[in-house]
Amino acid sequence: DEKIQVQIEQSNSEGQIIDYIQNAYDKYDAIVINPGAYTHYSIAIFDALKSVPIPSVEVHMSNIYSREEFRKKSVTAGACIGQITGFGIQSYIMALSALKNMHKKGL
């Protein structure tokens, strides 16, 4: 099985997250993002994800669709090729696996 290299970035600042996304262009093949509370209202993160021509997957450790009503809407998911939610830490592994398979297929 092929190995993949992962770079992990974390920030509680919306502006810093946007910088990470924009700096991913020409450096990385894909983005796995958990926007946290920004999921529900950050048009700026949505725009940043749309601005880079690399695939992204939104992940959440909890199932956001089984939580409070306001948490069920993701404005950032629409900028991603997919969303994985509710599988705990496994959500990240699933996202990496999906992106790796897509990359191998040239998608």
Q: CATH class for domain 14-104?
A: alpha beta
Query: Residues 23-69: pLDDT tens digits?
Result: 999 899 999 999 999 999 999 999 999 999 999 999 999 999 999 88
| CA-derived radius of gyration, the chain | 13
Instruction: Quickly state the pLDDT bin for 4 (edges 50, 70, 90).
Output: confident
pTM of the model: 0.91
Distance (Å, rounded) from C-alpha 83 to C-alpha 95?
A: 8
Among the residues of the chain, which ranges form H helices?
Answer: 14-24, 43-51, 90-104
Domain ranges of the chain: 14-104
Distance (Å, rounded) from C-alpha 70 to C-alpha 52?
A: 28
